[in-house]
Amino acid sequence: MLATLQRLGIVPSFSRPSVSDDNPYSESLFRTLKYTPAYPNRPFESLGAARQWVHRFVQWYNEEHRHSAIRYVTPGQRHRGEDLAILANRTRVYETAKAARPQRWSGDTRNWEPIGEVWLNSPKDNPLPERKQKNVA
């Protein structure tokens, strides 16, 4: 296989299976698409039907699906910078709830600090800078 690729002038990828250095957002999208229970179990009736299904999936993924790796905000909210205000508000809500009923809390509240850069394979010797939280009233 390698010799055939070289003979055809194709540079082979040396990525290992399940290891990628691609865009973490697109990789997350593809994984969710691949394993979503809503994925049709039969072939699409037409190219138009496939496009319509993918369009709806991408809309859901970007604007409705909250991601644990980015503190349960949607990719759209993060892309537009709305996550900073959302996470600041969540922090206030949790701290207010803890102050009102401290007996219900066994420790610290959930960490709602904004996530810095997101990596699939973070460089070990290059610490990630944190995004600065905007002063949101």
Q: How confident is the model at residue 137 (pLDDT cuts 50, 70, 90)?
A: very low
pLDDT of 98 > 90? The answer is yes
pLDDT, tens digit, 9 for 90 and up, residues 45-84:
999 999 999 999 999 999 999 988 899 999 999 999 999 9
Contact 71, 89 (CB under 8 A): no
Q: Give the number of domains in the chain.
A: 1
Q: How far apart are CA 71 and CA 83, in angstroms?
A: 9
- Could you tell me if residue 47 is inside a domain? no
| CA dihedral for 97, 100, 105, 108, sign (positive or negative) | positive
pLDDT, tens digit, 9 for 90 and up, residues 102-126:
999 999 999 999 998 877 666 665 5
- Could you tell me if residue 92 is inside a domain? yes
- Could you tell me if residue 123 is inside a domain? no
- Could you tell me if residue 81 is inside a domain? yes
Domain that holds residue 89: 56-108
| CA dihedral for 115, 117, 118, 121, sign (positive or negative) | negative
- Could you tell me if residue 7 is inside a domain? no
- Of 81, 40, 77, 47, which Cα lies nearest the Cα of 61? 77
- Could you tell me if residue 77 is inside a domain? yes
Token couple for 53 = 């299904």
10-45: b (≥16 Cβ within 10 Å) or e = eeeeeeeeeeeeeebbeebbeeeeeeeeeeeeeeee
- Could you tell me if residue 119 is inside a domain? no
- Could you tell me if residue 73 is inside a domain? yes
